């Protein structure tokens, strides 16, 4: 493992390595799906406070749009944004382009087809589910002709999409593994994370979508479901996120990572402990206790590993602390790292059997999920977009003020939502433990759900600031041909 290699005169030109247009296409689709997902979340928030403006309309039922909310975030926003960003990072790290630009464009359109088909299956599928011709085909050919969602969180994709998404992930792995394979000498830690993700993600998707559907049932299927949900976070999103942090942070701070030894500890700790902790949301279930104890121990171990990673990045920031104030992408990155440490610390608490008695199935878990998916990975991607978009469009941002508003509304709104749902979970746990009627807990949750709705509005307001700023930036004139090697901190602060 070595530090980032400095470009030399013999290195390929940026245009030979990176397709700026394709990255922007990925970002446009990512932001479109994020907008839809957040609108679906707002619809759910209205439903909980008994103010759903679309009540009674079948296609807008909250049950369907809640699934769209989670799937659009995972596969529409995060996957698109990460795919676009590694089209920038991997070729520039390896000095080799992807295996095929045509394949990159094919993957882009194929992935949008998969995401849109999943959305159509979730929204329209249940309406056609009991049609006579569907029932006839299912009975005749003994096939799971479920046009709607499957009964697995984040695996609700209609059954016929699962093989397509698996093929797509294998094509992604081939396209990006080729430039990595051509690299000579020690590889930077970011490439370790990316390579691991290209192997782990297809295995995770196959495990979660195929085994419960065709092979196993009962508690075994429940255990696999728990592994699938958590491994999507830990073995798909997490290695991409940390790999990109190891790439962007040293570039923007103009200094190497503090300790490459600690970066090794972080990578191998993630690889060894994370796959074992997926059952920790299924404590007190019929799943064998030795598996539950294994999840408890590995979850606490992951927190220790995460502490080494966070220490490494703050050690890198040491001496450049002013960048946290002046440089917005750096502020996004380190805010996400703090949230990441909090969410892992929260995991180490909630995974104990004593604590689990109180918060099991409560809004505590919902707050925890929002903290990691929005507070960590979404903020990191906002920071990356804030940094890269001026380079891709060769235009400086239309408004620095709107960028600031985007950051503060997103970060503060998310933190309010996290605190609110965490408290709501504790109250709900005590309501249920006291054996009071169910209505008592839902009535007692109303103040928390109202606060959550306002926090969601803050986060959505931040997104609107970003979208308006992006629109005005795209419509603006090219002010200066920004160098691809520039950090663009002239506008964002230095």
Return the closest-CA partner of residue 334 out of 350, 355, 318: 318
Other Cβ atoms less than 10 A from the Cβ of 151: the count is 11
pLDDT in tens, 92-141: 999 999 999 999 999 999 999 999 999 988 888 777 777 777 777 777 77
Please give the average per-residue pLDDT across 262-282, as a whole number: 87
> What gap in Å lies between CA 403 and CA 410, rounded to an integer?
11
Is 60's pLDDT higher than 60? yes
Angle made by CA atoms 260, 264, 270, in degrees to the nearest 5 = 140
Alpha helices, H only, 13-100? 14-17, 20-48, 62-71, 79-94
Please name which of 316, 187, 186, 341 lies closest in space to residue 252, comparing C-alpha atoms: 316
41, 18, 165, 137: which is closest to 88 by C-alpha? 18
275-297 confidence digits (pLDDT tens): 887 778 788 888 888 888 888 89
Gap between the Cα atoms of 324 and 312, Å rounded: 16
Query: How many whole angstroms separate alpha carbon 107 and alpha carbon 425?
Result: 41
Residue 403: Cβ within 10 Å count: 21
| pLDDT tens-digit series, residues 202-255 | 999 998 888 887 788 887 888 888 888 888 888 999 999 999 999 999 999 999
Burial of 349 (0-12, 13-18, 19+ CB in 10 A): middle
Instruction: State the sign of the Cα–Cα–Cα–Cα dihedral 84, 89, 90, 91.
Output: positive
The helix/strand count (H/E) of the chain reads as 20, 0
pTM across the whole model: 0.92
Domains and CATH numbers, the chain: 15-185 (1.20.210.10), 196-318 (no CATH), 342-474 (no CATH)
Using a 10 angstrom Cβ sphere, with 0-12 exposed, 13-18 middle and 19 or more buried, the burial of residue 233 is buried
| Contact present, 410 and 462 (Cβ < 8 Å) | yes
């Amino acid at each position: 493992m070595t530090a980032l290699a400095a470009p030399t005169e013999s290195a390929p030109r940026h245009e030979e390595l990176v397709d700026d247009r394709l990255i922007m296409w990925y970002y446009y689709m990512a932001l479109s799906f994020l907008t839809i997902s957040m609108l679906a979340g707002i619809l759910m928030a209205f439903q909980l406070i008994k103010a759903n403006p679309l009540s009674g309309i079948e296609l807008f039922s909250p049950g369907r749009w809640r699934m769209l909310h989670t799937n659009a975030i995972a596969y529409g926003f995060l996957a698109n944004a990460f795919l676009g960003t590694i089209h920038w990072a991997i070729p520039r790290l390896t000095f080799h382009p992807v295996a095929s630009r045509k394949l990159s464009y094919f993957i882009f359109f194929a992935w949008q087809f998969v995401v849109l088909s999943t959305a159509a299956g979730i929204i329209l599928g249940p309406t056609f589910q009991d049609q006579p011709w569907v029932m006839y085909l299912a009975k005749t050919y003994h096939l799971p002709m479920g046009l709607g969602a499957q009964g697995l969180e984040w695996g609700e994709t209609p059954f016929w999409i699962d093989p397509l998404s698996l093929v797509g992930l294998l094509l992604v792995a081939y396209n990006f593994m080729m430039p990595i394979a051509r690299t000579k000498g020690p590889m930077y830690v970011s490439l370790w994370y990316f390579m691991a993700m290209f192997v782990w993600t297809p295995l995770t998707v196959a495990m979660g979508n195929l085994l419960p559907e065709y092979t196993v049932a009962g508690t075994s299927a429940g255990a696999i479901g728990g592994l699938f949900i958590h491994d999507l976070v830990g073995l798909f999103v997490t290695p991409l996120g940390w790999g990109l942090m190891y790439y962007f942070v040293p570039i923007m701070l103009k200094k190497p990572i503090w300790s490459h030894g600690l970066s090794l500890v972080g990578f191998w700790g993630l690889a060894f402990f994370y796959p074992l902790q997926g059952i920790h949301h299924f404590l007190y279930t019929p799943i064998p206790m030795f598996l539950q104890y294994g999840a408890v121990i590995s979850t606490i171990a992951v927190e220790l590993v995460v502490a080494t990673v966070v220490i490494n990045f703050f050690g890198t920031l040491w001496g450049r602390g002013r960048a946290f104030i002046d440089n917005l992408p750096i502020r996004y990155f380190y805010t996400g790292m703090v949230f990441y440490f909090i969410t892992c610390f929260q995991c180490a608490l909630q995974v104990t059997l004593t604590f689990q008695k109180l918060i099991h199935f409560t809004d505590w878990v919902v707050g925890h999920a929002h903290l990691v998916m929005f507070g960590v990975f979404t903020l990191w991607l906002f920071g990356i977009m804030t940094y890269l978009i001026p380079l891709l469009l060769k235009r400086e941002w239309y408004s620095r003020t709107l960028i600031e508003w985007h950051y503060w509304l997103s970060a503060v709104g998310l933190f309010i939502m996290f605190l609110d749902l965490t408290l709501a979970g504790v109250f709900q746990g005590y309501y249920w433990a006291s054996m009071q009627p169910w209505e008592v807990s839902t009535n007692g949750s109303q103040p928390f759900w109202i606060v959550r709705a306002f926090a969601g509005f803050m986060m959505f307001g931040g997104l609107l600031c970003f979208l308006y700023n992006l629109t005005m930036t795209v419509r603006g004139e090219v002010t200066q041909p920004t160098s691809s090697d520039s950090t663009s901190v002239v506008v964002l602060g230095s």
